[in-house]
């Protein structure tokens, strides 16, 4: 589609929000989303970009909560809590199912000064006490996780338990239907507030260090700067490490014959129970590893259909046979943490030596030190928030869906994700009333056609190619949050204006050049399709993809940056990776031979 | 035999610059640093001095040059041409002829007349402040002792090239005691060759080595006849951070018993093909880094990658074994610039973040 509408003397611009036509077959998409996500006429005057980093797919109605709640939390953090001097918060809009965002910068110098005074004091407090605050953060986050795990859906039996009377509780279960649902939403909101609590400051440390590196070493790649920062004992490696451990144990306990390519998790687990002591030992270790490490999501925590390993054991069981084979032939090493640590130190000290003066070296030490201080939070919070908490959150919502299905309001438990959370509220009220009155709920006739039509619309919206940006090209990109979190720069905007025809461009995240057949996967649940030696092309690479990295030659993703987990894992496996291409999954087809250049950040279709 | 006026390159080093000239001293120094250079010898500056003593016993010739005005182009051309003519016509003492001939034949290893490069090595060249780059002559693919002797005299004479004289007059350098050694080295028949800087020539970044190269002799690149392939290699990680393949339209080579370099159309198959693999680029960068470490300052290096077949198949084995350096001198452009520190330390590390966030972008 046309990226620009500029005519000769006009400044170049992207399509305006008001010019976007409804995607064919999804003309009624607006009915899926609340009014406050709609573009307004005056929004044509502003620059918006497609947040493909977090929302690479059209949004099911319920899943818009993963935009609404985070933006509510991030803006509060930057605009109101820490009072960032040059940015307020982020606004989001949905068009044709896609989330577009823009930031509201502060540009008035006196306003910046007024805010800076408050910000300096507050931000310093967090930086000065970072480790202690992070320890406290973990305790609070674990408490939130415990809470979300313990939320129950009332059974709504024919008769209440006698205890309601004998203990004079006085409140019937249908009340808790709404209360507990609200609790899920409220906990999700709190989780996101804590998520942003330290993250913006953490990214600030990164940006300053990266900027310093680029000024001192104009030719340095982001990935090299990232390697000086990268942590070694990062929680996100744990799930994969656990799998390796389980593979070793399988061989040691003599049950490795059960782990074959394409094996069924249920069948393997059943067989293990009959394999005596060895099987018992393995199952015990499996249970141990599962909680919490299998709470890792197959996505990034923004869509309900990205299930966790615990929910979909085929993901870990796709990796296990491969690891088992590597244990047998002796090729499965432990992560060479000491070597990685030494390499990180070598790189940092050699760049340090190349600096021009001792003054620069002292500044470098300060900035690198700060990055390493914040690194554990920046890297590990994802496991607690987007993976562990969010997997549990969606599962609780699923349980409410099961109840709605049991009462006939929905055809299937999963259909709850076709309703906005405020619509779920209505459906639950319907059930509460019906259970109380003894009649049938009315929702079946109301919601089922809506759900069916929304599913059709989502399928149609998948075919729509969202422009990377909308509105006028900004004169200056003056919002630090947009640069920090999304890496949107003037160069990036220029690239969006004039997309290269034969080349898919992104960020080189791990160096090297390889050629091979592409395997385009739109969904992690398809990872079983990957064959040895293929190049993975996917919308987003999340940590849970780690097991397939042993099979593939290179990785290409639509979204992600040089600090994304895919990038880190690719570097560890020493394979080229290009991330943040925007549309690789649309422009490349499975089976095509492609060349991935992890140095230049390009992908070429050869045939 | 009187005193030796010829020394093997491997026997000289930086300290010998006054007697062998900058180029020879540099090449000898590289050998000592364990960096291979093509085998060869240097005709000491003393031989030039003796020749000038014979030619200009009264010093009037030198004085006529010294009195030239740097702006009087026609006078420079007239006087300089006269001096060059007399130097090239000068009969060499039998002892000098014998020593050069013996050294040349040793390079031939008793075989047919080997092709050599005869290169000027002025005693004042390649100081850190003035490069004198390209002002004196180099003769490539010289065959036979007689031709070598000729080329030696022409190198001496090139001290009086119009540009050299004008350059010295402009800088008001003394004409007394000018010295000129001459390097005679076996010609390489490289698969690829070019130059490298041990910092980015574009940004001054000291963390990278910038390599330019083409197929065949590097003279095609130096002469500007090709758009070279460019590689930028990180010194720290070996990562190739830049790679641009040039349109290499001309190919420089030489033939046995045919003097000089022939320039021909680059075979079609090679024009758009990179003249270096990534591994070779990394190996070159590693050598560049060693040279820089040896001298302590960024270097401007001429390199060649050995390979017998000019049709250029990939090399086998460790690329490092195929690398030869033809020259290394201090980089002068960025060295002369001073740069404000990118950042200076602040009372607290977090102040860097506050400072960044407190100013409008």
Share of chain B above pLDDT 90, in %: 60
Instruction: Give the minimum alpha-carbon distance from A512 to chain B in angstroms, rounded to a whole number.
Output: 8
Last residue of a domain, one of B136, B154, B186: B186
Max avg pLDDT among A127-141, A463-477, A567-581:
A127-141
Are residues B155 and B26 part of one domain?
yes
Domain-located, residue B203: yes
Are residues B262 and B129 part of one domain?
no
For residue A222, the chain B residue with the least C-alpha distance is: B241
| More confident call, B355 vs B335 | B355
**What SS3 state is found at B138?**
strand
- Chain A residues in contact with B243 by the CB 8 A cut-off are 599-600
Last residue of a domain, one of B168, B186, B204: B186
Count other C-beta atoms under 10 Å from residue B269's C-beta: 9
pLDDT digits (tens, 9 = 90+) for A225-256: 888 987 777 787 888 889 999 999 999 999 99
**What SS3 state is found at A179?**
helix
Last residue of a domain, one of A499, A529, A552: A499
- Chain B residues in contact with A224 by the CB 8 A cut-off are 234, 236-237, 239
Q: Using CA atoms, how far apart are residues B199 and B211, in angstroms rounded to an integer?
A: 10
pLDDT category at A498 given cuts 50, 70, 90 is confident
The answer to whether the CB atoms of B242 and A219 lie below 8 A apart is yes
Sheet holding B6-8, edge to edge: B6-8, B40-43, B180-186, B115-122, B138-143
Are residues A328 and A277 part of one domain?
yes
Last residue of a domain, one of A336, A365, A391: A336
Q: What is the DSSP letter of A473?
A: P
What value does the mean pLDDT take over residues A267-279? Answer: 94
Residues on chain B bordering chain A, Cβ-to-Cβ distance under 8 angstroms: 200, 203-208, 232, 234-237, 239-243, 278, 339, 341-346, 348-350, 352-354, 356-361
Residues 6+ apart with CB under 8 A from A166: none
For residue B243, the chain A residue with the least C-alpha distance is: A600
A23 phi and psi angles, rounded to 5 deg: -65, 135
Residues 6+ apart with CB under 8 A from B126: B22, B23, B26, B132, B133, B329, B330
pLDDT digits (tens, 9 = 90+) for B239-297: 888 888 888 999 999 988 788 899 999 998 898 899 999 899 999 999 999 999 999 99
pLDDT digits (tens, 9 = 90+) for B325-340: 999 988 887 877 777 8
Instruction: Report the relative pairing of strands A535-538 and A513-520 from DSSP bridges.
Output: parallel
What value does the mean pLDDT take over residues B61-66? Answer: 92
For residue A478, the chain B residue with the least C-alpha distance is: B361
**Could you give the ipTM of this predicted complex?**
0.83
pLDDT above 90 (res A363): yes
Sheet holding B190-197, edge to edge: B240-244, B229-234, B208-215, B190-197, B299-306, B323-330
B25 to each of A56, A62, A127, B125, how far by Cα in Å?
62, 76, 55, 11
Residue linked to tokens 């993703």: A557
pTM: 0.81
Q: Using CA atoms, how far apart are residues A211 and B164, in angstroms rounded to an integer?
A: 45
pLDDT above 90 (res A222): no
B232 beta partners: B210, B242
Domain-located, residue B19: yes
Domain-located, residue A97: yes
Q: Decide: A366 and B350 in contact? Cβ < 8 Å.
A: no
Are residues B312 and B231 part of one domain?
yes
Question: Count of domains in chain A?
Answer: 3
- CATH number for the domain spanning B10: value is 3.30.1490.20
- Chain A residues in contact with B207 by the CB 8 A cut-off are 217, 219-220, 351, 354
Q: Which of A208, A226, A343 to mutate to test the interface with B (most CBs of B within 10 A)?
A: A208
**What SS3 state is found at A488?**
coil
Q: Decide: B180 and B45 in contact? Cβ < 8 Å.
A: yes
pLDDT above 70 (res B84): yes
Are residues B227 and B170 part of one domain?
no
Tokens matching residue A531: 């064959």
Domain-located, residue A431: no
Are residues B171 and B62 part of one domain?
yes
Are residues A493 and A543 part of one domain?
no
Q: Using CA atoms, how far apart are residues B321 and B319, in angstroms rounded to an integer?
A: 5
Are residues A108 and A46 part of one domain?
yes
In order, the DSSP letters of A262-274 are T--HHHHHHHHHT
Q: Decide: A51 and A71 in contact? Cβ < 8 Å.
A: no
Q: Decide: A101 and A48 in contact? Cβ < 8 Å.
A: yes
Average pLDDT, chain B: 88
> Which among A119, A357, A478 is the nearest to B361, CB-wise?
A478
- Which DSSP helix (H) or strand (E) runs through B295? helix B278-295
Q: Decide: A231 and A572 in contact? Cβ < 8 Å.
A: no
Are residues A116 and A79 part of one domain?
yes
User: Which of the residue ranges A30-34, A177-181, A365-369, B74-78 would you say has the lowest mean pLDDT?
Assistant: B74-78
In order, the DSSP letters of A202-223 are HHHHHHHHHHHHHHH-TT--HH
Are residues A120 and A16 part of one domain?
yes
Are residues A452 and A495 part of one domain?
yes
Domain of residue A312 covers 235-336
Instruction: Report the relative pairing of strands B180-186 and B190-197 from DSSP bridges.
Output: unpaired
Instruction: Give the minimum alpha-carbon distance from B352 to chain A in angstroms, rounded to a whole number.
Output: 7
> Which among B350, B358, B361 is the nearest to A370, CB-wise?
B350
Domain-located, residue A528: yes
Tokens matching residue A432: 């509460």
Q: Using CA atoms, how far apart are residues A546 and A565, in angstroms rounded to an integer?
A: 9
Tokens matching residue B63: 């004085």
What value does the mean pLDDT take over residues B328-354? Answer: 87
pLDDT above 60 (res A355): yes
pLDDT category at A326 given cuts 50, 70, 90 is confident
Q: Using CA atoms, how far apart are residues B170 and B114, in angstroms rounded to an integer?
A: 40
For residue B209, the chain A residue with the least C-alpha distance is: A219
Residues 6+ apart with CB under 8 A from A330: none
Last residue of a domain, one of B186, B216, B237: B186
A473 to each of A38, A90, A321, A470, how far by Cα in Å?
21, 18, 51, 8
Angle A542-A546-A552 from CA coordinates, rounded to 5°: 110
What value does the mean pLDDT take over residues A273-283? Answer: 94
How many angstroms from the chain centroid is the CA of residue B260?
Answer: 17
Q: Which of B277, B345, B350 to mutate to test the interface with A (most CBs of A within 10 A)?
A: B350
pLDDT category at A6 given cuts 50, 70, 90 is very low
Domain-located, residue B196: yes
- CATH number for the domain spanning B213: value is 3.30.470.20
pLDDT above 50 (res B129): no
The answer to whether the CB atoms of B241 and A220 lie below 8 A apart is yes
Q: What's the length of chain A?
A: 607
Q: What is the DSSP letter of A387?
A: I
Average pLDDT, chain A: 89
Q: Which of B335, B357, B360, B361 to mutate to test the interface with A (most CBs of A within 10 A)?
A: B357
Are residues A585 and A482 part of one domain?
no
Q: Decide: B300 and B335 in contact? Cβ < 8 Å.
A: no
Count other C-beta atoms under 10 Å from residue A332's C-beta: 17
Q: Using CA atoms, how far apart are residues A494 and A503, in angstroms rounded to an integer?
A: 16
In order, the DSSP letters of B133-178 are TTSS-EEEEEESHHHHHHHHHHHHHGGG-HHHHHHHHHTT---TT-
**What SS3 state is found at A355?**
coil
Domain-located, residue A197: no
pLDDT category at A30 given cuts 50, 70, 90 is very high
SS3 content of chain A, % helix, strand, coil (to 5): 55, 10, 35
- Chain A residues in contact with B203 by the CB 8 A cut-off are 218-219
Spatial CA neighbour of B236 closest among A371, A566, A233, A216: A216
- Chain A residues in contact with B205 by the CB 8 A cut-off are 217-220
Are residues A57 and A103 part of one domain?
yes
Around A504, how many Cα atoms within 13 Å sit in the side-chain half-sphere? Answer: 27
pLDDT digits (tens, 9 = 90+) for A379-392: 889 899 999 999 99
Are residues B270 and B245 part of one domain?
yes
* Omega before A109 within 30 of 0, i.e. cis: no
Confidence (pLDDT) at B134: 61
Q: Using CA atoms, how far apart are residues A403 and A178, in angstroms rounded to an integer?
A: 12
pLDDT category at B302 given cuts 50, 70, 90 is very high
- Chain A residues in contact with B239 by the CB 8 A cut-off are 221, 223-224, 511, 599
- Which DSSP helix (H) or strand (E) runs through B83? helix B73-89
Greatest CA separation for chain A:
81
Domain-located, residue B355: no
- Chain A residues in contact with B235 by the CB 8 A cut-off are 350, 354
Are residues B181 and B219 part of one domain?
no
Domain-located, residue A493: yes
Tokens matching residue A450: 């809506």
Are residues A600 and A549 part of one domain?
yes
- Which DSSP helix (H) or strand (E) runs through A443? helix A443-461
pLDDT category at A43 given cuts 50, 70, 90 is very high
pLDDT digits (tens, 9 = 90+) for A502-518: 788 777 777 778 899 99
Domain of residue B305 covers 190-330
Confidence (pLDDT) at B340: 82
Are residues B318 and B205 part of one domain?
yes
For residue B361, the chain A residue with the least C-alpha distance is: A478
Question: Count of domains in chain B?
Answer: 2
The answer to whether the CB atoms of B203 and A219 lie below 8 A apart is yes
Q: Using CA atoms, how far apart are residues A36 and B224, in angstroms rounded to an integer?
A: 63
Confidence (pLDDT) at A331: 80
For residue B198, the chain A residue with the least C-alpha distance is: A354
User: Which of the residue ranges A396-400, B186-190, B221-225 would you say has the lowest mean pLDDT?
Assistant: B221-225
Are residues A537 and A493 part of one domain?
no
For residue A227, the chain B residue with the least C-alpha distance is: B237
Last residue of a domain, one of A452, A478, A499: A499
Count other C-beta atoms under 10 Å from residue B105's C-beta: 14
Q: Using CA atoms, how far apart are residues A266 and A269, in angstroms rounded to an integer?
A: 5
pLDDT category at B26 given cuts 50, 70, 90 is very high
pLDDT category at A1 given cuts 50, 70, 90 is very low
| More confident call, B313 vs A124 | A124
Sign of the torsion angle spanned by Cα atoms B244, B250, B256, B261: negative
Are residues B147 and B37 part of one domain?
yes
Domain-located, residue B265: yes
pLDDT category at B314 given cuts 50, 70, 90 is low
Are residues A9 and A104 part of one domain?
yes
Are residues B130 and B198 part of one domain?
no
Q: Decide: B124 and B173 in contact? Cβ < 8 Å.
A: yes
- Distance between start and end Cα atoms, chain A: 23
**What SS3 state is found at B60?**
helix
Count other C-beta atoms under 10 Å from residue A606's C-beta: 9
Q: Decide: A412 and A398 in contact? Cβ < 8 Å.
A: no
Q: Using CA atoms, how far apart are residues A436 and A444, in angstroms rounded to an integer?
A: 17
Q: Using CA atoms, how far apart are residues A22 and B222, in angstroms rounded to an integer?
A: 59
| More confident call, A486 vs A225 | A225
> Which among B204, B345, B360 is the nearest to A112, CB-wise?
B360
Domain-located, residue B90: yes
**What SS3 state is found at B6?**
strand
pLDDT above 60 (res B173): yes
Domain-located, residue B258: yes
Angle B252-B255-B260 from CA coordinates, rounded to 5°: 65
Are residues B194 and B133 part of one domain?
no
Q: Using CA atoms, how far apart are residues A302 and A298, in angstroms rounded to an integer?
A: 11
Q: How many CB pairs under 8 A join A and B?
A: 146
- Chain A residues in contact with B298 by the CB 8 A cut-off are none
Domain-located, residue B170: yes
The answer to whether the CB atoms of B241 and A599 lie below 8 A apart is yes
Are residues B215 and B168 part of one domain?
no
Domain-located, residue A396: no
Share of chain B above pLDDT 70, in %: 93
Confidence (pLDDT) at B128: 43
Are residues A49 and A13 part of one domain?
yes
């Amino acid at each position: 589609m046309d990226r620009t509408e500029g005519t000769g003397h006009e400044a170049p611009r992207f399509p305006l929000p008001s010019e976007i036509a409804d995607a064919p077959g999804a003309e009624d998409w607006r009915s899926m989303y609340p009014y406050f996500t709609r573009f307004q006429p005056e929004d044509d005057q502003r620059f918006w970009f497609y947040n493909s980093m977090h929302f690479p797919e059209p949004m099911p109605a319920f899943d818009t909560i993963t935009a609404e709640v985070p933006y509510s939390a991030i803006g509060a953090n930057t605009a109101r809590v820490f009072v960032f001097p040059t940015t307020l918060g982020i606004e989001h809009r949905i068009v044709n199912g896609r989330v577009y965002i823009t930031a509201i910068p502060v540009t008035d110098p006196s306003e910046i000064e007024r805010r800076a005074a408050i910000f300096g004091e507050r931000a310093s407090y967090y930086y000065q006490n970072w480790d202690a605050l992070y320890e406290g953060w973990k305790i609070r986050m674990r408490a939130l996780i415990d809470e979300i795990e313990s939320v129950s859906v009332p059974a709504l039996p024919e008769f209440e338990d006698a205890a309601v009377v004998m203990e004079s509780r006085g409140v019937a279960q249908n009340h808790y239907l709404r209360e507990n649902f609200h609790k899920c939403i409220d906990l999700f909101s709190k989780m996101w507030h804590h998520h942003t609590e330290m993250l913006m400051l953490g990214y600030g440390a990164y940006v300053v260090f990266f900027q310093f590196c680029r000024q001192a070493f104009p030719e340095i790649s982001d990935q090299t700067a990232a390697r000086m920062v990268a942590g070694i004992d990062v929680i996100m490696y744990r799930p994969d490490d656990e799998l390796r451990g389980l593979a070793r144990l399988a061989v040691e306990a003599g049950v490795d014959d059960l782990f074959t390519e394409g094996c069924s998790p249920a069948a393997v687990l059943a067989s293990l129970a009959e394999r005596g002591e060895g099987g018992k030992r393995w199952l015990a270790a499996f249970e141990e590893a599962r909680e919490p490490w299998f709470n890792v999501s197959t996505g990034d925590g923004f869509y309900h259909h990205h299930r966790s390993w615990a929910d979909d054991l085929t993901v870990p069981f796709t990796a296990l046979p491969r690891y088992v084979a590597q244990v047998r032939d002796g090729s499965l090493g432990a992560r060479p943490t000491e070597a990685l640590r030494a390499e990180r130190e070598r790189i940092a000290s050699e760049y340090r030596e190349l600096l021009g003066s001792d003054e620069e070296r002292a500044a470098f030490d300060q900035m690198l030190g700060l990055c390493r201080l914040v690194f554990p939070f920046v890297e590990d919070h994802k496991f607690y928030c987007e993976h562990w908490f969010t997997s549990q959150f969606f599962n609780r919502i699923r349980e409410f869906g099961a109840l709605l299905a049991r009462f006939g309001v929905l055809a299937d438990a999963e259909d709850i994700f076709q309703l906005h959370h405020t619509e779920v509220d209505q459906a639950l009220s319907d059930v509460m009333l019906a259970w109380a009155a003894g009649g049938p709920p009315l929702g079946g006739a109301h919601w089922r056609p809506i759900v069916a039509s929304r599913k059709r619309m989502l399928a149609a919206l998948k075919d729509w190619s969202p422009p990377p940006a909308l509105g006028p090209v900004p004169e200056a990109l003056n919002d630090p949050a947009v640069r920090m979190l999304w890496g949107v720069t003037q160069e990036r905007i220029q690239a969006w204006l004039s997309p290269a025809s034969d080349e898919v461009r992104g960020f080189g995240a791990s160096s090297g050049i390889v050629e091979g057949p592409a395997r385009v996967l739109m969904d992690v649940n398809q990872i079983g399709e990957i064959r040895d030696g293929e190049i993975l092309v996917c919308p987003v690479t999340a940590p849970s993809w780690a097991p397939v990295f042993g099979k593939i030659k290179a990785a290409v993703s639509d979204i992600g940056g040089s600090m994304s987990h895919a990038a880190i894992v690719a570097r560890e496996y020493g394979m080229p990776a290009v991330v943040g291409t925007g549309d690789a999954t649309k422009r490349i087809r499975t089976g095509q031979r492609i060349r991935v250049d992890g140095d230049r950040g390009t992908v070429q279709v050869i045939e | 035999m009187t005193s030796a006026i010829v020394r093997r390159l491997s026997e000289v080093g930086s300290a010998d610059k006054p007697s062998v000239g900058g180029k020879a001293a540099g090449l000898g120094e590289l050998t000592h640093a364990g960096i291979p250079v093509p085998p060869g010898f240097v005709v000491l500056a003393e031989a030039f001095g003796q020749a000038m003593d014979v030619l200009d016993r009264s010093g009037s010739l030198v004085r006529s040059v010294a009195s030239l005005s740097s702006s009087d182009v026609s006078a420079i051309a007239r006087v300089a041409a006269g001096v060059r003519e007399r130097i090239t016509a000068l009969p060499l003492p039998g002892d000098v002829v014998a020593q050069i001939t013996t050294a040349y034949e040793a390079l031939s290893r008793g075989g047919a007349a080997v092709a050599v490069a005869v290169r000027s090595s002025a005693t004042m060249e390649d100081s850190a402040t003035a490069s004198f780059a390209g002002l004196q002559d180099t003769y490539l693919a010289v065959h036979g002792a007689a031709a070598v002797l000729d080329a030696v005299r022409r190198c001496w004479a090139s001290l009086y090239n119009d540009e050299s004289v004008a350059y010295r007059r402009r800088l008001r350098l003394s004409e007394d005691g000018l010295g000129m050694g001459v390097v005679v080295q076996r010609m390489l028949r490289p698969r690829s060759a070019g130059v490298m800087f041990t910092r980015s020539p574009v940004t001054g970044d000291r963390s990278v080595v910038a390599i330019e190269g083409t197929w065949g002799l590097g003279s095609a690149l130096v002469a500007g006849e090709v758009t070279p392939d460019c590689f930028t290699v990180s010194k720290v990680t070996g990562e190739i951070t830049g790679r641009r393949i040039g349109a290499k339209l001309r190919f420089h080579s030489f033939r046995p018993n045919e003097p000089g370099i022939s320039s021909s159309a680059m075979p079609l198959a090679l024009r758009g093909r990179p003249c270096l693999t990534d591994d070779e680029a990394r190996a070159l960068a590693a050598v560049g880094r060693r040279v820089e470490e040896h001298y302590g300052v960024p270097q401007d290096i001429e390199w060649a990658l050995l390979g017998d077949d000019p049709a250029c198949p990939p090399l086998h084995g460790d690329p490092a074994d195929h690398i030869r350096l033809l020259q290394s001198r201090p980089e002068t452009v960025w060295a002369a610039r001073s740069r404000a520190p990118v950042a200076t330390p602040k009372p607290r590390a977090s102040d860097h973040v506050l400072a960044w966030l407190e100013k409008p972008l």
